[in-house]
Amino acid sequence: MVEIFKTNVQEKTEAQEIIALLTFHFPESKINFDLHDCDKILRVEAGHVPVGEVMSLVHQNGFWCDVLD
């Protein structure tokens, strides 16, 4: 399963911090950003993606995140 989120993450260093955080919490997931996309895409791929937890962790670290429709 792949979940795609739009975010307000702007910098590569910010993206790396979020990836490290999410990888710590979801070690079996593939996680990456596309900061060149206008929606600053966060992709999380796993057998099951806990959408609420992903959004909560991103929010707790000062960034906005929502599921891309």
- pLDDT tens digit string along 26-45? 999 999 999 999 999 999 99
Q: b/e string for 26-50 if b means 16 or more Cβ within 10 A? A: beebebebeeeeeebbbbbebeebe
Per cent of the chain over pLDDT 70 is 100
Instruction: Please report the domains of the chain, with CATH numbers, ordered by start residue.
Output: 2-67 (3.30.70.100)
Give dist(CA 24, CA 17) in Å, integer: 11
Give dist(CA 61, CA 46) in Å, integer: 22
pLDDT band of residue 69 (cuts 50, 70, 90) is confident
